[in-house]
Amino acid sequence: MVQIRLQKWLSEAGVCSRRQGETFIAAGRVRVNGRVVTVPGTKVDPQQDRVEVDGRPVKAAPGKIYLALHKPKGFISSCRHGDRPVVVGLVDLPTRIYPIGRLDLDSTGLLLLTNDGRLHHQLSHPSFDHEKEYEVAVQQPIMDDQLRQLAEGMPILGSRTRPARVRRLSGRRFRIVLQEGRNRQIRRMVKQLGHKVKRLHRVRIDGIHLGSLPEGAWRHLTPAERERLLRHLPKETPPFKPGTKPVTKS
């Protein structure tokens, strides 16, 4: 009989991330063998115990799934939302998956989805330094010195952004490579320069490129892409530090 922590089982089964699992447990949404469990860290035997979330049984995921999706404008980077379409609705798979990080409602481009809770933590948490590359269009021509400010770092949300790589594409378009993902970071930086983002499109996450994937379409990652993402994956997911939020929304 092998027992594991309840929130870890929820993550491995593809229900949610471990941190979300802790929230579900504390809220009384999880039952084990018919009894509500509210203590995170409770041990269960997935082979013997019956686990339910909101009355639905939790079953082992059929295998780890790693997808690349071309997110269209107007979709929420979430598993559920009251009145707007969500990105998981674009994927016709029976297994529950969830997006890694976020793109805001008006942003488009590459989004990764998985049922692997450990990878979700690694790529979503701000302590991890995976590169994300964006193509940005602004409404008015942007000056060279303003692009340098973006590259050198700017004060937003109470601290200075990390240095970035910036390359001009045209008078109103540029590419920027970030190693962090603060809430609406690019839009905030551009606004501080007196500009407004007209289009924000993510073309790469680490070694995964959007390429020619059509808008709204998805594909499985190649073995090489999976290996690149997973090679630094820790055997145990490190705990979240108090006060941090696993958000990457640009």
What does R_g of the chain's alpha carbons equal in angstroms?
20
DSSP strands (E only) in 116-242: 132-138, 155-156, 159-160, 165-168, 173-178, 197-205, 208-209, 218-220
d(CA 213, CA 238): 33
CB atoms within 10 A of CB 130: 20
Catalytic residues: 104
183 within 8 A of 247, measured Cβ to Cβ: yes
Which residues share a beta bridge with 204?
Answer: 133, 209
Q: Which residues, in sequence order, are CB contacts of 222 under 8 Å at separation 6+?
A: none
Nearest CA to 10 out of 49, 103, 137 is that of: 49
Nearest-angstrom CA–CA distance, 197 and 108: 13
Contact 12, 64 (CB under 8 A): no
